[in-house]
Amino acid sequence: MHALEQHAKELFKKDLANLSDAETYKVLLDYVQEQMINSPVNQGKKKLYYISAEFLVGKLLTTNLINLGLYDEVSQVLEANGKSLHDVEKAETEPSLGNGGLGRLAACFLDSIASLGINGDGIGLNYHFGLFRQVFRDNQQASVPDEWLNHPNWLVKTETSYEIPFRHFNFKSSLYEIEIPGFEQKAHNRLRLFDLESVTSDIIEADSINFDKMNIPQNLTLFLYPDDSDYVGNLLRIYQQYFMVSNAAQLIIEEAKAKGSDLHDLYDYAVVQINDTHPAFIIPEFVRLLTTYHGFEFKEALAVIEKTVAFTNHTILAEALEKWPMAYIDEVVPEIAKIIRQLDEEIRSRYPDKEAVQIIDQDDRAHMAHIAIHFSFSTNGVAKLHTEILKNSELKPFYELYPDKFNNKTNGISFRRWIMAANPELTQLLDEKIGQDWHKDADLTAFEKEIDQADSLKRLQEIKHHNKLQLQEYLSDQQGVQLHDNAIIDVQIKRLHEYKRQQMLALYIIHKYLDIKAGNLPSTPITILFGGKAAPAYTIAQDIIHLILCLSELIAKDPEVSPYLQVIMVENYNVTSAEKLITAADISEQISLASKEASGTGNMKFMLNGALTICTLDGANVEIAERVGEDNIYIFGQDSETIVKLYETGDYHRHLADYYHRERIKPLVDFIVSDELLALGQHDRLYRLHEDIKYKDWFMALIDLEEFIDVKEKVYADYEDQESWTKKALINIAQAGYFSSDRTIQDYNQDIWKI
Ligand code: 26Q
């Protein structure tokens, strides 16, 4: 009897064959968990600590089985018992511990760090309800708690606990862990998530994500990114961040000491990578711990910290650069406020005439990125273009001070998840054609020789078609919509934000709708899918979702249009739905306003799965284009230099009315407040969005709209020649190797971590 069958007996007193999928999942969870707990944890003098507010890990069963080398064996045992992994996996709930690209990047990194055998853990928080779960009601987004912890999960509780001192509280934390196995590695790493036992869902109002924000003992780790539109919401964010980093710093110091460090050599035992500024309070926290408990002088502590901490920047949007009023920090953790003032004095004495690099500004706010850059040894951007923009504009005064600290680490994605787990059939085809070395080295270039092999092209088409059927099944299960058969699948999935310009694709949909109404019928039906959440306090993003949902309904109800065009907004977009959408996609929408998307990582996942990209030259799109060549990607729009200048001069916004009044643009924008849409939607939302685009358009959707429409028509026309299309897809797959997160992590390790 296989160990799995044994487990089924022990756990449920039944034969494996007689278990429900949910019960089978539980058996598998226990079985895999046991294998991991019994395998050694990575050891070694120096260790990486990757600290992040988000870890968007997704379902873990399949990737764990792949990494542990159990996938085939387990699939066979299940099959012998009349089950499929595909069905059993449906019973797994994905942890709600992240929000978007930064969190998913952290998850891909954990996989690559473990797979390269690097000694390194993730550290974060165990949010009980994570980010909200998105539901659609009346064509609008509503937010409800995501109860992921109520389902069987991979968390293991440990005995580890630290005291975390706030002004008004003294908390004792608990540490939970998720084991992170590497691909074909003996030893594993861990994701370590801190929590507070007194936190309770009792304080959440029914059917909402509202709760008493002042009740810190009961709310501290309830939600990721609690609404921070008011004072108490801001304080809660500081409470969370400090709780995360004080735990992290205490753990790091304890582990280093256990290995023989006297802490004056901490950097020989630990390297701390902070994922954006959310964990930047770890710098003053290290100062506090080293000076209070370990006999360090202030400057002595700084000298050690500056060699231990490294910082990654993920955005140049001003709104996302954290600046905390000193009074707030004082209210939450006065000792940290005091240390930040000392850090500010230190920088003022080092660089007396450089106001731009000071830590505390004239409004008495602490700039977290400034702390992170001054007191770390490395600052990196996440794509070539992004890093250049940081050096030459956003962070220029810092680059002038520290040219050697700045470096680029172009993002990457885990091939274990984004092809081996998500697209088993493409994996199979690649294995047949180029062998299995790519599982380890991510080199897919040999696949390019298949470009003249009719059977390979046909297989690619069949795989895409099959993945579309899987997506059809998924959407029908999840939200009861029926995906068109044989449509072009055109996908934009990412957080809702004006700079990502979902509104521009919505305007294109209006164009296409009106065009079909005018009798111009597409040869192949087009299905445009969106997925993404809007921050609850981000009104215009909510309005854009509303517009998309209204368009979706309008088109679905119009028998003249619906056979040719379908618009679907996927509810509660997450890692699981991403896997289905990306593998089924023909077209990848990467249409951000140039200069605004730091990198993007979805762009890489689509490419790897054979979708063609329509994009602006932004973030990592630039590097994708470099690799596939201009014949195999669709580029449009103003470039980043032009856009940066337009913001400087104000020229675009001064002339916005001219764009709006263009013959091809005005009817599309005005359709937002047409009778047809007003009949389906909320007047205030539609009028607000209409006004926003007409009079403000801060992220310049209209500047690129006409060119976007033209390129989209070309893309759809090109799709009609399936042979040439599939060849382009093949080149995209073959060129995706550079975007493996294994390459990214090797770069981090070589240049920054040195483990
Ligand atoms: C900051 C202050 C106040 C409230 C919220 C925040 C906040 C929260 C989340 C700021 C930023 C984030 C997340 C950012 C993020 O996901 N950035 C994405 O990171 C990816 C990985 O590097 C890039 O590929 C994307 O381009 C970038 O948008």
Question: What pLDDT, in 10s, does the model give residues 300-330?
Answer: 999 999 999 999 999 989 888 999 999 999 9
530 lies in some domain: yes
67 lies in some domain: no
Q: Measuring CA to CA, how many Å separate 686 from each of 114, 354, 551, 669, 682? A: 48, 46, 11, 11, 6
pLDDT band, residue 521 (cuts 50/70/90): very high
Specify whether 522 is located in the same domain as 566.
yes
700 lies in some domain: yes
Nearest CA to ligand 1 atom 11: 320
Please say if 517 is a catalytic residue: no
Is residue 490 predicted with pLDDT exceeding 90? Answer: yes
Q: Is any atom of ligand 1 closer than 6 Å to the C-beta of 411?
A: yes
Specify whether 555 is located in the same domain as 600.
yes
pLDDT at 319: 82
Rounded to the nearest angstrom, the gap between the alpha carbon of residue 99 and the centroid of all alpha carbons in its chain is 6
477 lies in some domain: yes
Specify whether 589 is located in the same domain as 563.
yes
Specify whether 512 is located in the same domain as 573.
yes
Specify whether 381 is located in the same domain as 455.
no
CATH number for the domain spanning 236: value is 3.40.50.2000
State how many domains the chain has: 2
Specify whether 444 is located in the same domain as 395.
no
Q: Is any atom of ligand 1 closer than 6 Å to the C-beta of 234?
A: no
Please say if 259 is a catalytic residue: no
Percentage of residues in the chain having pLDDT higher than 70: 100
> Which contacts of 460-463 are long-range, i.e. CB under 8 A and separated by 24 or more positions?
460/426, 460/429, 460/610, 460/726, 460/729, 460/730, 461/722, 461/726, 463/423, 463/425, 463/426, 463/429, 463/610
pLDDT at 574: 98
Question: Which ligand 1 atom is at minimum distance from the Cα of 601?
Answer: 24
pLDDT band, residue 139 (cuts 50/70/90): very high
Nearest CA to ligand 1 atom 5: 320
pLDDT band, residue 610 (cuts 50/70/90): very high
pLDDT at 320: 85
Question: Which amino acid type is present at position 579?
Answer: E
Q: Is any atom of ligand 1 closer than 6 Å to the C-beta of 601?
A: yes
pLDDT at 316: 86
Q: Is any atom of ligand 1 closer than 6 Å to the C-beta of 105?
A: yes
CB 49 within 8 A of CB 121: yes
Q: Is any atom of ligand 1 closer than 6 Å to the C-beta of 598?
A: yes
Is residue 1 predicted with pLDDT exceeding 90? Answer: no
Q: Is any atom of ligand 1 closer than 6 Å to the C-beta of 381?
A: no
Give Cβ neighbours of residue 346 (< 8 Å, ≥ 6 apart): 302
Specify whether 470 is located in the same domain as 390.
no
20 lies in some domain: no
Q: At what angle do helices 101-115 and 61-68 cross, to 10 degrees?
A: 20
Nearest CA to ligand 1 atom 4: 320
Give Cβ neighbours of residue 478 (< 8 Å, ≥ 6 apart): 570, 571, 577
Q: How far is the CA of 315 from the centre of ligand 1 (A)?
A: 6
Q: Single out the catalytic residue among 237, 468, 494, 512.
A: 494
pLDDT band, residue 292 (cuts 50/70/90): very high
Specify whether 372 is located in the same domain as 487.
no
306 lies in some domain: yes
Q: Single out the catalytic residue among 237, 468, 533, 605.
A: 605
Query: What pLDDT, in 10s, does the model give residues 383-403?
Result: 999 999 999 999 999 999 999
Query: What pLDDT, in 10s, does the model give residues 417-434?
Result: 999 999 999 999 999 999
Q: How far is the CA of 269 from the centre of ligand 1 (A)?
A: 29
Q: How far is the CA of 99 from the centre of ligand 1 (A)?
A: 8
> CB-based burial of residue 79 (10 Å sphere; 0-12 exposed, 13-18 middle, 19+ buried)?
exposed
Q: Which domain holds residue 679?
A: 440-739
Please say if 137 is a catalytic residue: no
Q: Is any atom of ligand 1 closer than 6 Å to the C-beta of 409?
A: no
Question: Which ligand 1 atom is at minimum distance from the Cα of 104?
Answer: 21
Specify whether 455 is located in the same domain as 324.
no
Query: What pLDDT, in 10s, does the model give residues 175-201?
Result: 999 999 999 999 999 999 999 999 999
Query: What pLDDT, in 10s, does the model give residues 10-53?
Result: 999 999 999 999 999 999 999 999 999 899 999 999 999 999 99
Question: Which ligand 1 atom is at minimum distance from the Cα of 100?
Answer: 16
What's the CA gap between 292 and 626, in Å, rounded? Answer: 52
Is residue 228 predicted with pLDDT exceeding 90? Answer: no
Question: Which ligand 1 atom is at minimum distance from the Cα of 619?
Answer: 26
Q: Single out the catalytic residue among 213, 464, 500, 580.
A: 500
Nearest CA to ligand 1 atom 24: 600
Q: How far is the CA of 276 from the centre of ligand 1 (A)?
A: 8
537 lies in some domain: yes
What's the CA gap between 363 and 538, in Å, rounded? Answer: 25
Q: Is any atom of ligand 1 closer than 6 Å to the C-beta of 314?
A: yes
Please say if 14 is a catalytic residue: no
Q: Is any atom of ligand 1 closer than 6 Å to the C-beta of 619?
A: yes
What's the CA gap between 75 and 79, in Å, rounded? Answer: 6
Q: How far is the CA of 314 from the centre of ligand 1 (A)?
A: 6
Q: Single out the catalytic residue among 221, 308, 601, 613.
A: 601
719 lies in some domain: yes
Is residue 164 predicted with pLDDT exceeding 90? Answer: yes
What secondary structure does DSSP assign to 220-238, as a single string?
Answer: TTT-SS---SSHHHHHHHH
Pocket test for ligand 1, best of 237, 276, 410 (most atoms within 8 A of CB): 276
Structure tokens of 358? Answer: 């000071």
Per DSSP bridges, beta strands 488-493 and 526-531 are parallel
Please say if 500 is a catalytic residue: yes
Q: Single out the catalytic residue among 104, 213, 288, 495.
A: 495
Specify whether 476 is located in the same domain as 357.
no
Specify whether 368 is located in the same domain as 506.
no
Query: What pLDDT, in 10s, does the model give residues 235-255?
Result: 999 999 999 999 999 999 999
Per DSSP bridges, beta strands 156-157 and 174-181 are antiparallel
Specify whether 114 is located in the same domain as 156.
yes
Question: Which amino acid type is present at position 338?
Answer: K
CA angle 644, 646, 648 (to 5 degrees): 70
Question: Which ligand 1 atom is at minimum distance from the Cα of 105?
Answer: 21
Q: How far is the CA of 54 from the centre of ligand 1 (A)?
A: 10
Q: Is any atom of ligand 1 closer than 6 Å to the C-beta of 101?
A: yes
Query: What pLDDT, in 10s, does the model give residues 550-604?
Result: 999 999 999 999 999 999 999 999 999 999 999 999 999 999 999 999 999 999 9
Q: What is the CA radius of gyration of the chain?
A: 26
pLDDT at 291: 98
pLDDT at 318: 83
> Which pTM value belongs to this model?
0.98
What's the CA gap between 122 and 50, in Å, rounded? Answer: 5
Structure tokens of 375? Answer: 């007191």
What's the CA gap between 75 and 88, in Å, rounded? Answer: 10
pLDDT at 486: 92
**pLDDT, mean over the chain:** 97
CB 7 within 8 A of CB 42: no
What's the CA gap between 355 and 336, in Å, rounded? Answer: 22
